[in-house]
Amino acid sequence: MEPVRVIEGAVSVIDRHDVDTDQIIPKQFLKRVERTGFGEFLFHDWSKEPGWDLPSNPILAAGRNFGCGSSREHAPWALEDYGFRAIVAPSFADIFYSNCTKIGLLPVTLPEEDVRALMEAGHARIDLEEQEVSFAGRQVGFDIDPETARRLLEGLDHIGVTLQQLDEIDRYERQRERSGPVTTALA
Amino acid sequence: MAKSLFDKIWDAHEVAEGLLYVDLHLVHEVTSPQAFESLRLAGRPVRRTDRTLATADHNVPTDGSTRADQIRDQLSRVQVETLERNCQEFGVPLYSLGSARQGIVHVIGPELGVSQPGMTIVCGDSHTSTHGAFGALAFGIGTSEVEHVLATQTLQQRKPRSMRINYEGALGYGVSSKDLILGTIGRIGVAGGVGHVIEYAGPAIESLSMEGRMTVCNMTIEAGGRAGMVAPDETTFEWIEGREAAPDPLPTESWLALRSDDGAAFDTEVTLDASELSPQVTWGTTPGMVTDVTRSVPQPRDEGEERALAYMALRAGTPMAEIELDRVFIGSCTNSRIGDLREAAEIVRGRRVAASVDAMVVPGSQQVKQQAEAEGLDDVFRAAGFDWRSAGCSMCLGMNPDIAAPGERVASTSNRNFEGRQGRGARSHLVSPKMAAAAAIEGHFVDIREWEDSH
């Protein structure tokens, strides 16, 4: 994962709430076995509506509960492949938020009125280390789990980090692991 | 200190702060290929193949194909074949197309008895919350996390907040677990459970069958919840006992000890009256856009609801029971178990599907299919004009050829009525199996309570 520090640029807007991952990337595009190339299918159906305008910018601003529904990581893959580096919304669905942080697409939660103002500003600068979004001459702080922020800032490989705790996993399995069910023992 | 069911499972699985051990990892063909590929590139093995189980469900045709090479859609075929190759290479047990145990991942786990109280269960699928019905902590993850679990058998997780939904009163006649969860989502909203693990409690939950509890926990994600759970009890033990992966004897005492202690603290407590619920029908494009079958399509309250009504081609004020249907789908990880099929079959027995309706039943697994056929349910459905299919996710998300056409209106026992979910431009209404079955017969929604009395 590439380190994430400062993301600055124009803001694209989806002014809708409860945008589900079926809209972000419809099911017919989940058949690919690769991780790349999903950007061209982003919002496949919505993008055919009259008046749809979603330029490829560094920042996407959206409504509440963004990314709800299916756990498909293809949704963050598609957003990232399309060009977005950060998504700013009043709230996110849990799995989507987590999926974004795993691939270095920065989810930023701001109060609804600030998201609205940012949409109108059209340009913003997000500083992860300072946990601050600047737009239209103002600075607004945002919260992020410190460990998640550290991994994004340093661009760490999540599995690599966990494998540093291998001794603890081994010890857990020796001392505390639940017995069964053993899937390989099913006839 | 008094602890909740969730606290107890969490504490028993915390390897280190923020690192959770996974007892069971379920895998399917859509969200795993990139994970296996990354493992391969990094030269990492699957740490615990004995705690991993795979099946093919999202993509599989339901036409009775028994081998991956019979799948006509090339991309689907490649995806199922890739799963087969990955499982063989990494040593992961797999029930693929043609296996007597193949089926929807959230149907086969409970069916084999591998979903048990006190476990942590994950899968690259948001409806993993289903397994919480057994008193397990079960939730969906993305592909990066699938890879992480394959490599380490753990997951990096901050402990979510907890919520308990207490249901007062009993469900009324003709009101099902599906109506209970749809009604709940209608009240707390599609983001009402975000950041929370939800324990469902109260007499209305205790009196549900395991299948009913699975339906409720399954749709927790539609309320935004991280996981849903129900405390283990005699009903749980009866389900597990004698199943292939079940321990013998069952450790019932330690399983009962998992139940939330008196006085356990929850970050949020919600109380709902189960007795006031009627059969539910969704009218919009989120599961929270739902109302009683006795009511009418509501007035839109905001732009989102206006948009939903436009997509659904519905006018506010139209009685729900007057909405006419083109298709009926009975299936999905929400409602495709033998109990669901029995309920639907009782409604259609000796009757005919309306001439204007195309109706199908897709059993959740090959075992469910076999059981239903042993009971003659396939004949009941076929005689009524239903298409009787093989197991898979099917029209719940339409990754296989089971897709609704643009503009078609579907009564569906599945879990999502999102725009385009069952086919581009298709209009989905979520209902219980009984409601779907009766709607197939009449060609429009009916209040199952009155309909059953008058037929």
C-beta atoms of A31 and B59 within 8 A: yes
Q: Where are any strands of DSSP class E within chain A?
A: 6-14, 59-62, 86-89, 106-109, 123-127, 132-135, 138-141
C-beta atoms of A69 and B418 within 8 A: yes
Interface residue B148 vs chain A (CB under 8 A): yes
Contact B452, B425 (CB under 8 A): no
Question: From the CA of B353, how many Å to the nearest CA of chain A?
Answer: 29
Average pLDDT score over chain A = 97
**Residue linked to tokens 């099902």:** B176
User: Which of B 88-117 lie inside 8 A of A, CB atoms?
Assistant: 91, 93, 112-114, 116
pLDDT on residue A104: 97
Burial of B86 (0-12, 13-18, 19+ CB in 10 A): buried
Q: Which two tokens stand for residue A18?
A: 């409860």
Q: How many residues does chain B have?
A: 455
Chain A interface disruption, residue of B25, B126, B185, B430, most A CBs within 10 A: B126
Give the C-alpha separation, B448 to B385, whole Å: 20
User: Which of B 211-230 lie inside 8 A of A, CB atoms?
Assistant: 221-222, 224, 226
Interface residue B254 vs chain A (CB under 8 A): no
**Residue linked to tokens 């919350």:** B129
Q: Which two tokens stand for residue B342?
A: 């029995």
Interface residue B424 vs chain A (CB under 8 A): yes
Does the structure show a pLDDT above 90 at A150? Answer: yes
Does the structure show a pLDDT above 90 at A1? Answer: no
Chain A environment of B141 (Cβ under 8 Å): 71, 95, 98
Chain B environment of A68 (Cβ under 8 Å): 190-191, 224
pLDDT on residue B389: 98
pLDDT on residue B454: 82
pLDDT on residue B452: 81
Residue of B nearest to A185 (CA): B50
Contact B314, B344 (CB under 8 A): no
Looking at this protein, which amino acid is placed at residue B243?
R
Chain B environment of A23 (Cβ under 8 Å): 418-420
Residue range A73-78: average pLDDT? 98
C-beta atoms of B418 and A103 within 8 A: no
Interface residue B16 vs chain A (CB under 8 A): yes
Count of alpha carbons within 13 Å of B210, Cβ hemisphere only? 25
Rg (CA), chain B: 21
Looking at this protein, which amino acid is placed at residue B71?
I
pLDDT tens sequence across A17-72: 999 999 999 999 999 999 999 999 999 999 999 999 999 999 999 999 999 999 99
Give the C-alpha separation, B63 to B192, whole Å: 39
DSSP 3-state of A20:
strand
Question: Could you please report the per-residue DSSP string of B296-314?
Answer: BPPPP-SHHHHHHHHHHT-
CA-nearest of A66, A116, A118 to A95 is A66
pLDDT on residue B455: 78
Ramachandran sector of residue B177 (left: φ over 0; alpha: ψ -120 to 50; beta: rest): alpha
Q: Tell me the ipTM for this assembly.
A: 0.97
Q: Which residue in A68, A165, A179 is closest to B190 by CB distance?
A: A68
pLDDT on residue A141: 98
Chain A environment of B91 (Cβ under 8 Å): 184
Chain B interface disruption, residue of A182, A183, A184, A186, most B CBs within 10 A: A183
C-beta atoms of A33 and B141 within 8 A: no
C-beta atoms of B119 and A178 within 8 A: yes
Cis peptide before B401 (omega within 30 of 0): no
The strand pair at B14-16 and A138-141 is best described as unpaired
Q: What angle do CA B198, B284, B443 make, to 5 degrees?
A: 110
Q: Which residue in B19, B222, B418 is closest to A165 by CB distance?
A: B19
Count of alpha carbons within 13 Å of A172, Cβ hemisphere only? 21
Give the C-alpha separation, B122 to B120, whole Å: 7
Give the C-alpha separation, B67 to B69, whole Å: 5
C-beta atoms of A69 and B221 within 8 A: yes
- Divide the 455 residues of chain B into consecutive groups of 10 and give the mean pLDDT of each group: 97 97 98 98 97 97 96 97 98 98 98 98 98 98 98 97 98 97 98 98 98 98 98 98 97 98 98 98 98 98 97 98 98 98 98 98 98 98 98 96 97 98 98 98 97 82
Does the structure show a pLDDT above 80 at A187? Answer: no
The whole-model pTM stands at 0.98
Question: From the CA of A151, how many Å to the nearest CA of chain B?
Answer: 12
Alpha-carbon dihedral sign for residues A21, A22, A26, A31: positive
The strand pair at B409-412 and B427-430 is best described as parallel
- Report the run of H or E that residue B14 belongs to, with start and end: strand B14-16
pLDDT on residue B52: 98
